[in-house]
């Protein structure tokens, strides 16, 4: 009898299962007839939960994930790796990430990721069961590598053209070599859900555990549901039942939970459930890829397993779920990735309601039709998409979101203007045959027409555009080391370079905290004569663009005024310059010609 510490029960473990070296492949035709849908067999034996003390996620985005798409560039790999590290948090819930080691691009990406020196995810390799591949693992001083060790007769007989004994011996030889090279092996039991578990897989893993005991080197085991045949149902028989697979490898072979991983595929829409089931039955590691990338139908979606982890553990454990949205935006903007609109957590419409009856509930309380606070956890506010099914309730919810002052003004779904907007929308569908949802721009026009009191003035919208474009630019300028020096000789080239980039900038200057200008007048070439003798000894301490940043430390934009020098409509954007101990030491100001800037922004 052997005492199992993970759950406190005594379990009887049969330690020796001999390898059955068949002369013909076992293809389980009663389960996998090939010309029919695979069968799900039950044996009425239920395996109880055996949850490990700790569970985590490992990543295969840059290995299996890359097999399903145009390969990532080196920069993209580095950027995504940093986001994975941020998502997994300081506790390293995303524990490891595996990399190919073969192409020049693989090697360059690996070098740059290793240079980040991030604590998590740990970088591991993936190689074929070939000794010369270990030269690559050793070159990059990786502590662990995955090794392909296929275990089904489909692979052993039909692909490798070997017997079981020949295949297992070759695997054992390469694992021994890995240990000799000082690299921890991780054996990928490829196609385990079509394999002879007690005639081939268990004997092989038992040999691995004996080798581990002899060498005192831990050997990881990854259960690979290569074709997605695994099922999470209680009582499902081997080789497809995930619970029984986990039991066989953990309890019959004595592999500790922390040395086990599950790698699934989504061919039958079960990958997330199967991966969670592996956690519940003793497997600590869940191998996933961002957004389910992977061969054919893909792997377990990493972001889905993040939420599964939080749900099962009852704690975020330092996970920053808003990073999922950052990764989504990166895929869309940098990788030109098209994400299905209804894809959970990241699709455009994952938290969008169209039905009027749902929208009515959302207006009363968004919890009724939102899975959780998506604004807080994903930085994605609940959306209502307006169609002919939305009704007045959908329209008023959209207005409340885009025009917060509608609540203050007492606009409700019964307001006459809402009814007019509803009629205009219905005409689009009933009269003009529309089949798509209304865009925000179209709805803005309807609000401007029927509820003009809610609309922003053109100038207010223009100021927003300026803020979006100019505020970041001037703040970055204020943070420049040369600017912080308050040395005119260092500052003036910065201002001149900026003025050369935008002809709408008419005057750039820096003043000290007394309102006295410390730089020359930086202007456009055609305007230099106008400014040559002006503004040099004048105090600007009474100007709005100086007073406001000095008062609150924020970036400001003035109303339109007529410049006394150019006699043109002008606006000024200004921001404080802070010392390294966060004291205001000056103000940067940029005068824009209003007409030229408006034309530029439009």
Find out whether 305 and 283 touch, Cβ atoms under 8 Å: no
Distances (CA, A) of 344 to 48, 232, 379, 512: 30, 21, 14, 53
> In the predicted model, is pLDDT for residue 468 greater than 80?
no
Most confident of 1-5, 12-16, 127-131: 127-131
Strand (E) or helix (H) holding 283: none
- The model's pLDDT over 202-253, given as tens digits with 9 standing for 90+, comes to 999 999 999 999 999 999 999 999 999 999 999 999 999 999 999 999 999 9
Distances in Å between the alpha carbon of 74 and those of 79, 86, 95, 113? 9, 19, 21, 9
Structure confidence at residue 10 (pLDDT): 62
SS3 content of the chain, % helix, strand, coil (to 5): 45, 15, 40
Q: What is the pLDDT of residue 227?
A: 98
pLDDT (tens digit, 9 = 90+) per residue, 390-421? Answer: 888 889 888 888 888 888 888 999 999 999 99
Q: What is the pLDDT of residue 562?
A: 87
Q: What pLDDT shows up at residue 11?
A: 61
Lowest mean pLDDT of 93-107, 239-253, 260-274, 553-567, name the range.
553-567
Question: Is 90 exceeded by the pLDDT of residue 361?
Answer: no
Q: Are 522 and 499 in contact (CB under 8 A)?
A: yes
With vertex at residue 84, the alpha carbon angle to CA 83 and CA 88, rounded to the nearest 5 degrees, is: 120
| Average pLDDT estimate for 474-497 | 91
Instruction: Return the beta strands (E) in 151-276 as ranges.
Output: 184-190, 220-225, 260-264
Q: How far, rounded to the nearest angstrom, does the alpha carbon of residue 555 sit from its chain's CA centroid?
A: 31
Distances (CA, A) of 412 to 259, 363, 383, 401, 438: 59, 10, 18, 13, 20
| CA–CA gap between residue 168 and residue 163 (Å, rounded) | 9
Residue 2 pLDDT exceeds 80? no
Q: For residue 239, what are its two tokens? A: 């080789």
- For residue 156, pLDDT beyond 60: yes
pLDDT at position 332 is 93
More confident: 72 or 9: 72
Compute, in degrees rounded to 10, the torsion defined by CA atoms 302, 303, 308, 310: 120
341: CB partners within 8 A, 6+ apart: 347, 348, 349, 350
Beta-carbon contacts of 445 under 8 Å, excluding residues fewer than 6 positions away, are none
Give SS3 for 186.
strand
Give the pLDDT confidence score for residue 580 in this predicted structure. 86
Instruction: Please report the pLDDT score of residue 344 as a whole number.
Output: 97
Q: Dump pLDDT digits (tens) for 372-383.
A: 999 999 999 888
Does the pLDDT of residue 531 top 80, yes or no?
A: no
Handedness of CA 209, 127, 258, 302 (dihedral sign): negative
Q: Dig out the tokens for 421 from the structure.
A: 């907007």
CA pair distance 313, 87, nearest whole angstrom: 17
User: Can you give the pLDDT at residue 89?
Assistant: 95
Q: Are 233 and 42 in contact (CB under 8 A)?
A: yes
More confident residue, 422 or 365: 422
């Amino acid at each position: 009898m052997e005492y199992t510490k993970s759950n406190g029960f005594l379990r009887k473990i049969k330690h020796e299962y001999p390898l059955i070296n068949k002369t013909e492949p076992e293809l389980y035709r009663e389960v996998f007839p090939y010309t029919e849908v695979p069968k799900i067999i039950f044996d009425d034996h239920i395996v109880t939960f055996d949850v490990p003390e700790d569970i985590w996620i490992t990543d295969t985005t840059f290995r299996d994930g890359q097999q399903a798409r145009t390969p990532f560039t080196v920069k993209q790999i580095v950027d995504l790796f940093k986001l994975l590290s941020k998502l997994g948090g300081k506790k390293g819930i995303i524990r490891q990430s595996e990399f190919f080691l073969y192409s020049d691009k693989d090697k360059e990406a690996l070098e740059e990721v290793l240079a980040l020196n991030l604590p998590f995810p740990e970088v591991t390799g993936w190689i074929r069961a070939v000794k010369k591949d270990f030269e690559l693992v050793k070159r990059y001083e990786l502590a662990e590598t995955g090794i392909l060790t296929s275990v089904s007769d489909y692979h052993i007989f039909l692909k490798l053209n070997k017997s079981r004994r020949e295949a297992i011996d070759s695997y054992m030889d390469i694992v021994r070599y890995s240990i000799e090279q000082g690299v921890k092996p991780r054996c990928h039991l490829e196609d385990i859900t079509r394999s002879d578990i007690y005639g081939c897989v268990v004997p092989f893993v038992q040999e691995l555990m004996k080798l581990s005991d002899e060498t005192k080197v831990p050997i990881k085991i990854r259960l690979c549901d290569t074709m997605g045949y695994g099922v999470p149902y209680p009582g499902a028989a081997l080789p497809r039942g995930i619970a029984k697979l986990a039991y066989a490898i953990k309890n019959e072979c004595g592999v500790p939970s922390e040395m086990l991983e599950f790698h699934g595929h989504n061919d039958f829409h079960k990958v997330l459930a199967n991966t969670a089931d592996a956690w519940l039955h003793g497997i600590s590691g869940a191998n996933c890829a961002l957004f389910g990338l992977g061969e054919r139908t893909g792997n377990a979606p990493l972001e889905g397993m993040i939420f599964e982890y939080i749900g099962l553990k009852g704690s975020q454990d330092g996970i920053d779920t808003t990073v999922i949205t950052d990764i989504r935006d990166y895929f869309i903007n940098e990788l030109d990735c098209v994400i299905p609109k209804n894809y959970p957590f990241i699709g455009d419409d994952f938290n969008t309601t169209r039905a009027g009856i749902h929208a009515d509930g959302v207006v009363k309380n968004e919890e009724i039709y939102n899975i959780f606070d998506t604004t807080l956890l994903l930085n994605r506010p609940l959306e209502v998409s307006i169609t002919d099914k939305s009704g007045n309730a959908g329209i008023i919810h959209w207005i409340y979101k885009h025009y917060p002052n509608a609540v203050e003004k007492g606009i409700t779904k019964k307001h006459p203007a809402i009814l007019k907007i509803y009629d205009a929308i219905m005409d689009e569908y009933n009269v003009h045959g529309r089949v798509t949802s209304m865009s925000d721009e179209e709805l803005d026009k309807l609000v401007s027409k029927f509820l003009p009191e809610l609309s922003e003035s053109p100038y207010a919208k223009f100021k927003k555009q300026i803020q979006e474009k100019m505020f970041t630019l001037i703040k970055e300028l204020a943070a420049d080391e040369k600017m912080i020096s308050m040395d005119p000789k260092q500052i003036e080239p910065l201002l001149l370079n900026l003025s050369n980039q935008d002809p709408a900038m008419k005057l750039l200057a820096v003043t000290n905290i007394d309102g006295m200008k410390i730089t020359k007048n930086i202007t456009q070439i055609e305007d230099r004569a106008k400014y040559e003798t002006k503004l040099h000894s004048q105090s600007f301490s009474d100007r709005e663009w100086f007073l406001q940043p000095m008062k609150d430390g924020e970036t400001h934009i003035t109303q339109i005024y007529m410049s006394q020098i150019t006699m043109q409509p002008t606006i000024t954007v200004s921001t404080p310059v802070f010392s390294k101990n966060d004291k205001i030491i000056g103000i940067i100001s940029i005068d824009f010609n209003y007409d030229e800037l408006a034309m530029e922004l439009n």
